[in-house]
Amino acid sequence: MLVDPAQVAPLVAALEADGWEQVTTFEHGSVFAHAATFHHRVWGTADLHRAFPGLDRDAAATFERLWARRETVDLGGAPCSVPDLTARRLVSLVHAARDASGRSRHDVRVAWTEVDKAERARIEDLAAELGAQVPLALATGRPEAVEGLPGARVWQAVHDGAAPSEVWWARARDAEGPLVKARALVEAPQVNRDHLGLRLGHAPSRREVRREWWVRWGRFLRR
């Protein structure tokens, strides 16, 4: 679910009041810091997106653009607002750029390979408007088109299924300005408590966090 970034806090409060437990935070859910995971004992798991990776140059502007041209579809017997068809195709393609396993080949075929030139042009135009040229090019097999573009290194690393340390190093190289680069390098060896808790099945203790920190540094030095 993609939400207006300005409405994240009240929506989180409403979810928690209705029995949803936050499992991962926005800041540490992924390298893109875009979504948090919630779990409900009846309804299961849901991801709340405050932005969508690849469409996050200006998350608020992206949401407004998608909302302005929304359509309504029936999902589970309830009318739900969704982006228009061109935007849905772009979202599928940008998501496919993060899939190093190749399972998204079907999405690429349906959203790009099998559409006509006019629709491809519309997808390209929307990608340019929202800053999604890099993931779109990678998803559609045009890596030569991303060289030198903002975010190209981290997207290439994610697209290739690189190790977490390599993704963080790519993020640092993509960062603009010495302060942003320094922050990325400082954060790289830190333990992601959200992911560690998911792996352990419980909130990690200080001892478990320290142990994981040493494991991460050992792995980092070996690589």
- 154 against 207, higher pLDDT: 154
- 179 against 59, higher pLDDT: 59
Q: Are residues 105 and 174 in the same domain?
A: no
Name the nearest CA neighbour of 191 among 154, 158, 216, 166: 216
Q: State pLDDT tens for residues 73-101.
A: 998 889 999 999 999 999 999 999 998 77
pLDDT value, residue 191: 59
CB-based burial label for 143 (10 Å; 0-12, 13-18, 19+)? middle
Q: Are residues 65 and 106 in the same domain?
A: yes
For residues 153-158, average pLDDT: 91
Total length of the chain: 223
Q: Are residues 77 and 128 in the same domain?
A: yes
Which residue range is the domain that position 209 belongs to? Answer: 190-223
Contact 39, 21 (CB under 8 A): yes
Tokens of 53: 């990776």
Q: State pLDDT tens for residues 164-187.
A: 778 877 877 777 766 655 565 566
Long-range contacts at 208-214 (CB < 8 A, ≥ 24 apart): 213/189
Residue whose entry in the numeric block shows the structure tokens 């030198």: 148
User: What 3-state class would DSSP assign to 35?
Assistant: strand
Q: Are residues 80 and 102 in the same domain?
A: yes
Does 127 score more than 80 pLDDT?
Answer: yes
Domains identified in the chain, total number = 4
% the chain with pLDDT above 70: 82
Q: Are residues 158 and 107 in the same domain?
A: no
Q: Are residues 177 and 206 in the same domain?
A: no
pLDDT value, residue 165: 73
Does 110 score more than 90 pLDDT?
Answer: yes
